[in-house]
Structure 1
């Protein structure tokens, strides 16, 4: 069987649609535009094809993909709240985007997350509105139900043989009174469960594999990899073209129907600002000509803070890594008074501590970890350009722990993980505390959280959907004040949902395509 390849096609002066960025949203848009119309589609991706790369295909090898050739290499800026540390933010720079380098978790959060989007001004984005699009994405191993889809582009499976430390999380949760549930994407997400994973037959199932690979031979689809979009061309209030650099040369291509930005919550606002679309004061600071004033571009940045991690000594060698190195999840409440689970945890078959924690504690020998974080974080930040040069420096600031309630919840998360590892279900594995090395006071846990705070890689919200002066796109994902320009990535999320963002961004891509096709 010949190796899968991206066909090399002549580049035309114009296409019906140009999709910039081939991540979770962009792959979905491109596929549905090809399937649902006779349009020509050009996809521009800054990264390489990523096809047949063993470390991408192997679910056990995902962690080193951060800071590799397949990662943009972005950082969150330090603050005193995280003890002056710089936090890396892995973002996929490859066909499939972050779905090609992430932990392969498929999780859509709680229905009220999307009802909250509608309440924030995103009319028509309640859970009942978005559920059909979540289902359309899915090929769930248990088949179609009222809440799950089958036959869609993305294969989703549970582990057939979870690692014992993952199974111990299920039993340990029950020991603590946290329910064990069948499916975190089912009727309730509160409890412990086997993870939903984009893994099948031992290999990663990325958005590129699910959405693009089946249509690579379609003559109406052209994919440019290793190609960086640098500017949008605006003519008479319409986005009419995209400038890009390929092999060191600048080119431009026109879009006769529309341009779709799917570069993610860092590079979509970057491209808008480089094109003169953004907060006028920011554009003036960089001497960029203002084409359209939109104050919300780059604002409203949200991400889930992750305590990485609580590390425990193991009574025995862990053996070969299974699945994605995890295999189970817990969603639970930091307070019984909350309407939904706000905390999330997962096992790690080894040491997953942040660099500062590795400096402060002896983590030698056989260890396992539990990462825990906050999925209903309230802290909000921003991203801004520090240079008008393409590919220049950016400042990315999530303002982790700025809201006192976020820190309070993470203290409870750490306390719960320390209790969890000491339950009877972990008796065969738990050989003592490694980091923290003992049970801590609240004040000590606060400092531990500041040293261990990291990212779930869920950066979102920087071109938020809604109404009002800060809204960048309307409820049909159109950039306000300009024709022919749509955004389909995590930047449009108005309020971060209580989940990994791959699933909601794929859903957003599915909806974006529907909006475009219905308007054509």
Structure 2
């Protein structure tokens, strides 16, 4: 339970300066959505925890705190600066993929959407081999995370670490999108995290009192002064240390010097779907052929490391001319959302749209169209994507280049679904609900035929920043972790981030990754039992 009133977020927090000890019960690497959750629960249980974060604290930073300022955080000092590699499917373009490098991880730089998708998403995890991850298993953890403005219910939680609210004053463009959806026959629902996610609704935000409510704010800030938590920001982990099959330490840089710190009980990786796989491979855990290509010795042959990469492709975006200025930006610059089916026989909604209180475009779209003057936009994307990609190291240094390939639009059905989605968005922008705003098409400049729509999608294709799947859980030969998130083939090593997701859910990944962190802590504490005994079994003390 949160120790502070979430409607009045703590305005000041500080990371205490503590001398590093040679060993801790647990070391958590990465302070994002999963790492923050697992850290908090272990600290609450009385464990001595070292949390290592590669980025800065990010505390008291106006650009992070202000919800409307989130877009420029990509490519800032708080971002890793990664790119997706080009393919002909996206017209040979490089696509930026912002990933948070700061306390709170991507929850400190994202669009603050809290959304869990459809129950069938998690039933599919269970069916794929991640036993015990069906919706009935994860729903209690979603509820445990939440401090929902509407209070506890069958579907929602209250008094959890993360405050979740809807807009206090829905922007007219966001309200028009909900009205326009109803006009097109799409149902209007109260809460996309409720009984159904199909329809149009105000968005759920990790925002409180007008400020971003990141995982760092919710999970870490209230316990930064605990004696049994040591947080080390600006510390890049460069490798893992082993004794036999057991992972016992991490090598990390502190003030320019590389040091080694031991974990008596366990090490938890929560660096995200890109950096966790990178660290595993640099430490000799991965596909033998890939490791040998780089001259890395094989410690554990796990061919699934770096494979199964998934993300949601975003069409950024359909832009419309506005009859007048849109006024001040509110919330995260959006405010509402729609989920619908491109074909009625589908079991669940497969596409998604959201409003933009201004223009929104890839560099190529911006260069190809006149987006000057008053403009609003609607972004749309595929939430049931089929394309699968990979991650490949191009060097053996922690800072070496890396090839990240989601293979966007490589599956013809993905492209077909997006064509249908763009057609609906074009109708939406010209519906009666937008009559007081729509003053003409901007990008595209008119309604398009199918071939033209395909070309536009390839040029406008971007990302929802939902990279996942590169160290999936399951029981097949490509699984990297088991259903308790333990890395196969080694001991003392667990993963608690988006890399373990076997099949991308039809939602933003912040909420499911938080649940992964929550469950990781439960798995750890149940497996450890008495901490004092675990310290003895770990052949060390803290």
Q: Could you say whether these structures have the same fold, taking a TM-score greater than 0.5 normalized by the shorter chain as the test?
A: yes
The aligned residue for residue 208 of structure 2 is 200
Are residue 133 (structure 1) and residue 141 (structure 2) matched? yes
Q: Distance in 2 between matches of 1:391 and 1:100?
A: 22
The aligned residue for residue 7 of structure 1 is 16
CA displacement, residues 167-224 of structure 1 (integer Å, 9 cap, x when unaligned): 0001000000000000000000000000000001110000000000000010100000
Q: Distance in 1 between matches of 2:17 and 2:256?
A: 18
User: What is the root-mean-square deviation of aligned Cα atoms in Å?
Assistant: 0.8
Q: Which runs of 5+ in 1 are unaligned?
A: none
Q: Distance in 2 between matches of 1:247 and 1:215?
A: 24
The aligned residue for residue 532 of structure 2 is none
Q: Which runs of 5+ in 2 are unaligned?
A: 1-9, 529-542
- TM-superposed CA distance for 1:246, in Å, is 1.7
- TM-superposed CA distance for 1:2, in Å, is 9.3
Q: Distance in 2 between matches of 1:25 and 1:317?
A: 40
Are residue 405 (structure 1) and residue 413 (structure 2) matched? yes
Are residue 506 (structure 1) and residue 520 (structure 2) matched? no
Are residue 177 (structure 1) and residue 185 (structure 2) matched? yes
The aligned residue for residue 237 of structure 2 is 229
Q: Distance in 1 between matches of 2:240 and 2:289?
A: 20
Q: Report the TM-score, using the length of structure 2 for normalisation.
A: 0.95
The aligned residue for residue 333 of structure 2 is 325
The aligned residue for residue 347 of structure 2 is 339
| 383, 390, 397: which one aligns with 2:398 | 390
Q: How does 1:2-41 map to 2 (within 5 A)?
A: 3-36=12-45, 38-41=46-49
Q: Distance in 2 between matches of 1:296 and 1:303?
A: 17
Q: Match of 1:227, SS?
A: coil
Count how many residue pairs are aligned between Structure 1 and Structure 2. Answer: 519
Q: Distance in 1 between matches of 2:398 and 2:124?
A: 36
CA contact (8 A) 2:388 2:407 kept: yes
The aligned residue for residue 86 of structure 1 is 94
Task: Return structure 1 stretches of 4+ with deviation > 6 angstroms.
Answer: none
Q: Distance in 2 between matches of 1:155 and 1:2?
A: 15
CA displacement, residues 305-343 of structure 1 (integer Å, 9 cap, x when unaligned): 000000000001001000000000000001101000000
Q: How does 1:336-375 map to 2 (within 5 A)?
A: 336-375=344-383
The aligned residue for residue 266 of structure 1 is 274
- TM-superposed CA distance for 1:389, in Å, is 1.1
- TM-superposed CA distance for 1:147, in Å, is 0.7
- TM-superposed CA distance for 1:498, in Å, is 0.1
| 459, 465, 469: which one aligns with 1:457 | 465
Q: Distance in 2 between matches of 1:335 and 1:382?
A: 29
- TM-superposed CA distance for 1:352, in Å, is 1.1
CA displacement, residues 211-249 of structure 1 (integer Å, 9 cap, x when unaligned): 000000101000000000010111111110000012211
Q: Distance in 2 between matches of 1:168 and 1:96?
A: 33
Q: Distance in 2 between matches of 1:196 and 1:79?
A: 34
The aligned residue for residue 66 of structure 2 is 58
Q: How does 1:401-480 map to 2 (within 5 A)?
A: 401-480=409-488
- TM-superposed CA distance for 1:160, in Å, is 1.2
Are residue 218 (structure 1) and residue 229 (structure 2) matched? no
CA displacement, residues 99-120 of structure 1 (integer Å, 9 cap, x when unaligned): 0000000000000000000011
CA contact (8 A) 2:469 2:504 kept: yes
CA contact (8 A) 2:11 2:60 kept: no
Q: Distance in 2 between matches of 1:313 and 1:301?
A: 37
Q: How does 1:156-171 map to 2 (within 5 A)?
A: 156-171=164-179
CA displacement, residues 261-318 of structure 1 (integer Å, 9 cap, x when unaligned): 0000000000000101111100001001111110000000000000000000000100
| 209, 224, 240: which one aligns with 2:217 | 209
- TM-superposed CA distance for 1:506, in Å, is 0.1
- TM-superposed CA distance for 1:3, in Å, is 4.1
Q: Distance in 1 between matches of 2:527 and 2:317?
A: 47
Q: Distance in 1 between matches of 2:323 and 2:472?
A: 48
- TM-superposed CA distance for 1:410, in Å, is 0.3
Q: Distance in 2 between matches of 1:378 and 1:40?
A: 42
Q: Match of 2:236, SS?
A: strand
- TM-superposed CA distance for 1:259, in Å, is 0.3
Q: Distance in 2 between matches of 1:232 and 1:8?
A: 24
Q: Distance in 2 between matches of 1:65 and 1:453?
A: 20
Q: Distance in 2 between matches of 1:387 and 1:352?
A: 35
CA contact (8 A) 2:351 2:384 kept: yes
Q: Distance in 2 between matches of 1:177 and 1:380?
A: 32
| 244, 259, 262: which one aligns with 2:252 | 244
| 104, 107, 110: which one aligns with 2:115 | 107
Stretch moving more, 66-75 or 246-255: 246-255
Q: Report the TM-score, using the length of structure 1 for normalisation.
A: 0.99
Q: Match of 2:155, SS?
A: coil
Are residue 283 (structure 1) and residue 294 (structure 2) matched? no
Q: Match of 1:347, SS?
A: strand
Are residue 306 (structure 1) and residue 306 (structure 2) matched? no
